[in-house]
Each structure stands twice: as structure tokens, then as C-alpha cells.
Chains A and B, each alone.
Chain A
Amino acid sequence: MATLAGAQTSGYAGANAWRVILEWLTTVDHKKIGIMYLWTAGAFGLVGMAFSLVMRTELAQTGTIISAETYNSIFTMHGSVMIFLFLLPIGAAFMNYSMPLQIGALDMAFPRINALSFWIFLFGGVLITLSFAAEGGTASAGWTAYPPVTLDTGNNAEPPGAGMDMWLVGVILLGQASIFGSVNFLVTIFKMRAPGMTMWRLPLFTWTTLVTGLLILLSTPVLAAALVLGFIDRNGAGGAFFDPAAGGQPLLWQNLFWFYSHPAVYIMILPAMGIVSDVFGVFTRRPVFGYRSMVLALIAIGLLGFIVWAHHMFTTGGVFLPFFMGATFLIAVPTGVKMFNWIATMWRGSNIFPTAMLFSVGFLMLFLIGGITGVFHAAVPVDFALHDTYFVVGHFHYTMSIAATFGFLAGCYYWFPKMFGKFMNEGLGKLHFWLVFIGVNLIFFTQLLLGLDGMPRRINDYVDNPGWELMNMLTTIGAFVSAAGMMVFLYNVFYSLKWGERAGADPWEGTTLEWATTSPPPAHNFDSLPEIRSERPLFDLRFGEKLQDDPHYHVNNGHNGNGRGGGAKAPTASTREEA
């Protein structure tokens, strides 16, 4: 508001626009940085989706439309853009925007480093995408960039050019942005919480931010080490690290790479899990079932995530199979705990289904399929059979790509009123949900079947085995249906920004602190904070006095510290009627 008032005094109309642009370019406000992350990651997501449409067009029928080299480049960029420039930063977008609000903080602990993170991320992203203009094209070794095909020292028929170096440097920059971001998130959560916001009262999304921050902090530097070794290998060391012909070890890259990239799967999925946990806590009108077990499961997933990286390398023969198989199976346990907790939250809840809730339920379904196919893969013999087939593609898209995206879309619909003060259109939202839900299942369930039938991934053509062409056509149709769904979403965003229904401070009857301030919040976030006596301070604010009169309800006075909080019990029938 102050800015607008200032702009009006500056004389000519153009000054206002310039002032707004300058304000966004120089902002250190976590909310604005979060929104910038959202727009940027969203734009990169659309670019990544365009790449996938190119691939699906190519694979719709046998025979080739684009060359193998172009196809390699496209699937590499699809993976890199989607993972490094869409899924990771869109998590950062919500963590930036919502986490400080959820803990009642004024801003992040290091606002300027927060801005630095964003601009490094943007620069790295631009560098990776600009590699289309490089001699020799983009990186084309897949997003996993396994040497020696990334090197130009071996017997490569077509050694990658400058695009590969731009990819390596770009990803190092993105990693640097991630590390700065994670330090920021961690210090913010540990040091900037409002009075009364103890660790056991953190909203679940904030807990996922904490665990995600630790994963980023401890795994990303190892990727950075791999990337700098790769860069040195290409530009001086002559393959001494990764090229067997020069004394290096290709498996070394795989170990270092997956030491990051397996935790990275959790870095992508955990924030989405946090979002759906919060969404369930609001739209079932119940506290999330088993708050503490949710947190402990989260921590267990984070810890186990560090000791399973070699399950990506079962078929290399260079890893100790029993250990990594067992550890991978173990991850299913905390994941199952979370799954059942979500279901138990909905069980006998007063469920309502706005689009955010629809996407959260969609998340559960997709994540279930992805999770169970993941357990298939954890079994070494199954993995030997399915490695490098479309079954793998189907599996990981179901979990970290589509399930995570559904979580983030739920976050968009859930926090859009907070960010912009307006609801997203529910009708368009539901159309979006059904188009995307049907589309992605058409894509990826078919891919699971194709994989079971042995279709190899990362090849631009295939033999016409019985049914393959039909299933590939279905996959392609699914891709275009989901793309149409995303176009509806895009239209919805702009439609709602312009004509959306006004939303008040707390449009969903939320339970966490971000709903205790205006929509959008002022620069300093809060004019005043409610008392925080449980993990659902706004629920207490709304119902606390009524519940105090209820003989069946014991208000948590903050002394017993059992962490279940005042809201841990569902309101009784009498309080529901009053509400």
C-alpha cells in the first residue's frame, strides 16, 4: 500500500509499473520471493510439459518423426527441467511462502540470502535452458548424466558439446541455491518461531520443510561434488574420474549422483506430503490423525532416504544388494504409516471436497500406486527384470512427479486465497482435476503395463509388438488430455487473479497461523498473533471457549506438553452443532 501511495505522487503513469517491477526485483520479502519461485517454477513446468508432448508425439506410433539425437536431447531436458527447475523450486516456493507464516515469523532468518537463492536458481535455470543455443545442442545423457556418455574423451560417436558443461554448471548453481535455501529454512524454523510455537506444535507442512531442509543440506553438497568432478573430468582431467579408459570409474559418478538424487526424491515429495497433511486437517474438519506418528514417520523417511541410494544401481553389479534391498523395503513402513494416517483422518470426518481436497485425495491414490510399484522395484530379482523398462518410468512418475505435482496443485488451490486474496474458480478447478487425473492415469498406468511387457525406456522408436502401438497411443492421448487440463489450470489462474471471488483472512476455516492474518498478508505478516497452545491455534481461537464449557472436552492448558494439543480430540456432536 505504501508503495502505491508513493507511486501516485511520482507524476506520470509509467512510474508506477517501474516501481512495482523494481520492488519485485529487489524484494527480500519471503512472500514475494515465494510467489516469484511459484511463477518461475510454473513456467519451467510448462516448458517441461511441452518436451513431454514432443516425446509422446514421437512415440504415438512406430516410426520416427524426430531424430534419435533430438529425442535424447528432449528427454534429457524434460527430466532436468521437471526435476531441477519445476519440482524442487516449486517446493521451495511453498516453503518460502507458507512456512514463516505457519510459525508466526516476520520473515525468513536471512531475507537477503533468501533473495540470493532465488536469483541463483533463476540464473542456473536460464543457463540450462539456454544450452539449446549451444554448439552440439543441449545435454543429452539423460537427467542422470551417466558417464562416460557425458565425456568427450572416450569412444563416443557423438561427444556432447558445451551444452553438457552448461548443464553441469547450471545444476551446480541450482544446488547452491538449494543449500542457501535449506540453511535459511532450518534456521528460520529453529530460531524464528512465535512464542508458544513449540516443535511439537509445528504444522505438518512446517515439519516437512524442516526434514526437507536437512535432506537438502546434507545431500546436495555431494551432488555438487559429483558435478564439479564431472566438470573437471570434461575440462582438464581427461576422464580420470569417470572414464574407465583413463583410469576412472563410471560407478563413482552413479554413487555420488544417487547419494543426492535419491534423497532428492524425498525433497520433492515431502513438501507435497506436508501440503496434503495440512489440507486434510482443514477439509475433513478434524485434526490430522496421529500428529506425532506423522512427524516420526517423516523423520524416519528422511533418515532412511540416506541409505538406499544404491537401489538405483542394482543391475550394475557394483553394490551390496541385500543391504540396499532391505533398507528400501523399510522405507515402505513409515510411508505406510503416513498413508494410513491420512486415510484415518478422512475416516468419519466431515469431509468437504473443494479442489484442494480433490487434489489431495488424488495424491493419495497416485502415491499409493507409485509406492507399491516402488516396493516391487526394491526386490532385487524384480528390479533385474524391470530395470530400464517403462515400468520404472511409470513408477517414478506416479510417485515423485505426478503425486508431488498433485500435492503442489493442492497447495496452489489451498493457498491461492492467502497469496492473492481471491479464490480460484472451483468449477474450472474441478474440470482441471478430472482432466489431469484421468490423463495421468492413462499415461502412467499404461506405461506400467508396457514396462511389464518389456518396452525399454529412453528410445525414440519401438518394435510393433502386439498391443504396443495401441498402448502408446493411449499414453499419448493421456498426455494431451493432462496438458489440456493444465491449460484449464493456467486459464483459471489468470481468470481468478482478475475476476476471482474475494477471499477473507480465513476462507477455509483453517487451523494454522497463516490464516490468522489478512489475505494477502502485510509485509510484516502479522499485526497480532493468537495464543498458540496446540498445533491448531486457529481452531482453539474459534472453538476454545465453547469447548471449555464442554464437560467431555479437556482443554490443553499448555502445561502437560504432550504435544497433542487442545485440538487433538474431535469436537463432540454438541460443539459441531454450535459451530
Chain B
Amino acid sequence: MAASAIPHKRVHPVRSFLVGDEPMTTGLWGIIFFIFSEIMFFSGLIAAMLALHSDTLVWEPTNGAHRVEGAHVLPILFTVLLVSTSIPMQFAAFAIRKGNRKAMLINMAIVLVVGTAFIINQYFEWSHAGFGISDGPYAATFYTLTGFHGAHVIGGLVFIFAQWLRGLLGHFDAKRNTAIEAATLYWHFVGFVWLLVIFPLVFFLS
């Protein structure tokens, strides 16, 4: 608990868990609204995919190759890895709320390494897919959805890396950590949109 000069009301435990007990800053509000717009963006892409799926007889690439199946070791492994990085990211936020910058940097470094591994795995998945983006509705949605998600993972990693560098320079303490909280929320979004929506729909819809 941060030593706060001004006593404030008890906050809801969920809210306390996600963004701490300090009053919400404008930056946090901003990232929350921005995440809502991101959710709508992915909703648009997912709606397009479901609409195409409902009207396509054979949900396969049109060049004779096969779909990328999710029920294999690597896709499941990297899905679990990506989503589990939400844990060290949240620990980083917990750490800086207590003013522990060193623990924050270590946890963020784990996120950066695993997140980068996810992107590298995605590169290999793409290069071994056996079909291109022009091979029918399935192929086009596969590349569009995994591509835009990958772009958001990269965006999140850049966001976190920038804050990690700031942390190295001695920024952030128990009171001033909006960017870390914001990066954490954004990283949760990136992970869960993959786990709950993109992974099941892109890899298991047949």
C-alpha cells in the first residue's frame, strides 16, 4: 500500500487489483477508452470472418493446402505462453505500486522476452502455412486476423519496452506509474483477445 497523504475511500477489490488504490489518472481513463475502441475494431474483423464463414462451403484455403490447425503443440504452447505473460505484467504493476522498480523491470523483461518469442513463432507459422493471403476467404481472414493481432502484440511490446527503458532511467515510483498500469491493461487486452476470440475462431472453426 502506497503511503498516501490523503486518505481516500475503500475501492472495489477488482478495481484495486487492476489499477491499484490510487485515484484513476486521465492516462488510465484514456487507455481504457482506447481499449474499447480496439475491441470494436477486432469485433469488426471477427464479424467479417464469421459472415464469410457462414457462406463459404469449404472453409479451407483454395489452393489445396490445409488449414492451420490449433490442436498442435506449438499453437497451444504459444497461446498459453502469451496469456500467461499477463501474470508477470500484473506483477510488474503490483511491484511499482509498492515502489519496487527492480522487481518491475525483471517482470517486464520476462514479458518482453516471451512476447517476442510469440511473434517469432507467428513468423514461422506464417512461413509454413502453405497458402497465401489470396487463397480464398479462409486464407484472407487467417492472415488478416493473426496479422492484426500480431501488430497489436508488437505495439504492446514497443509500449512496454519504452516503459522498461524509462524504468531503467529511474522513472516511476509508487505514486507515478500510470504508464505501467496502462501498459498492463493494454497487455491484458492483447492476450485475452487472442485467447478468447482469435485463437478459438481462427484455429478451430471448420
Contacts and interface: CB of A to CB of B under 8 A. Distances in A.
A109 interface: yes
Give the secondary structure class of A's interface.
helix
Contacts of B141: 240
Nearest to A244: B55
Q: How large is the interface on B (under 10, 10 to 19, 20 to 34, 35 or more residues)?
A: 20 to 34
Interface residues of A, number: 39
30 contacts: A109-B26, A110-B30, A179-B37, A182-B33, A183-B37, A218-B36, A220-B40, A221-B41, A221-B43, A222-B41, A222-B44, A224-B44, A225-B42, A225-B48, A228-B144, A229-B45, A229-B144, A232-B133, A237-B134, A240-B134, A240-B137, A241-B137, A246-B136, A247-B137, A248-B137, A249-B51, A252-B51, A252-B52, A256-B48, A259-B44
B30 A109 contact: yes
Interface string A181-216: 011101100111000000000000000000000000
A354 interface: no
Contacts of A186: 29, 33
Contacts, number: 108
B38 interface: yes
Nearest to A225: B44
Contacts of B42: 225
A237 B133 contact: yes
A96 interface: no
A216 B37 CA distance: 9
B29 A187 contact: yes
Interface string B58-69: 000010000000
Given A187-B26, A187-B29, A252 B139 contact: no
Contact of A255 (B39, B51, B144): B51
B29 A222 contact: no
Contact of B134 (A222, A238, A255): A238
A237 B40 CA distance: 23
Contacts of A233: 140
Contacts of B62: 247
Nearest to B33: A183
A466 interface: no
Nearest to B50: A252
A217 B140 CA distance: 27
Contacts of B134: 236-238, 240
Contacts of B133: 232, 236-237
Nearest to A224: B41
Contact of A190 (B29, B38, B45, B140): B29
